[in-house]
Amino acid sequence: MIIVTGASGFIASCLVTKLNELGLGRKIILVDDFYKDYKDNNLSGKVVRDWIHRDIFLSWFDKSASIVDFVFHLGARTDTTSKNKAVFNNLNLDYSKQIWNICAKNDIPLVYASSAATYGDGKFGFKDDHKHLEDFKPLNEYARSKHRFDVWALKQKDTPPRWAGLKFFNVYGPNEYHKSRMASVVFHAFHQINENGSLKLFKSHRKDYDHGFQKRDFIYVKDLIDVCAFFLENSKPPNGLYNLGTGKAQTFNDLAHATFKAMGKAPN
């Protein structure tokens, strides 16, 4: 069986689609807070084996680990504006530790979602070689919770037989309609252009960047999912943390022009 946590969410639901395309649908066990039905369309028509609510999953997993072959732990509280440290510690740190420990105890490979937000202001660069890991200063509670788990994971002696923490950069693509203000810039750009015929870019508060020329590494979700599938099918990659981006930062202005072009409209 293949566990996918956060299954109703943006990235995980795209992973479920990929696993279906690989003919693995009957092996998928979905985990999420299924009382929240506003994301239901993300899993519509998908072939899966079972659905398990997040609150009872850990108990089930501990008892049923012998039937599990692989875990994709993509579930998390992702609101970067929230300051509720207790919630982040509960869902992003403690919950993840319990999944890790069950995987380690039962020799189950684990891929989990970290975040490029763990790099903070980028003072120590954006390399995933672990060299400056403990020096990073994430800028919000979400990023700090992800960072604390990365640091914890690398210190563990008891580990899953294969594991990878994937540092997702600025992901965009299908199935993010439910994320509201947390959706990608591409998502918001598309809807602004559709509704207004124009797009507003962020003002710059640094003299070394013009308005709209701040940079991010934007990565299409299906490219990211291909990497997840690679980890499922290959046992050779070393355990550790991996950046998942294009490796090249683009300006918001470039992104805006590309969106207008894709929509067949003149930039405004």
Q: Is 200 a catalytic residue?
A: no
- Three-state helix/strand/coil letters over the chain: CEEEECCCCHHHHHHHHHHHHCCCHHHEEEEECCCCHHHHHHHCCCCCCEEEEHHHHHHHHHHHHHHCCEEEECCCCCCCCCCCHHHHHHHHHHHHHHHHHHHHHCCCCEEEEEEHHHHCCCCCCCCCCCCCHHHCCCCCHHHHHHHHHHHHHHHCCCCCCCEEEEEECEEECCCCHHHHHHCCHHHHHHHHHHHHCCCCCCCCCCCCCCCCCCEECEEEHHHHHHHHHHHHHCCCCCCEEEEECCCCCEEHHHHHHHHHHHCCCCCC
Q: Is 83 a catalytic residue?
A: no
Which one of the listed residues 112, 142, 146, 167 is annotated catalytic?
142
Which one of the listed residues 97, 179, 215, 265 is annotated catalytic?
179
Active-site residue set: 142, 179
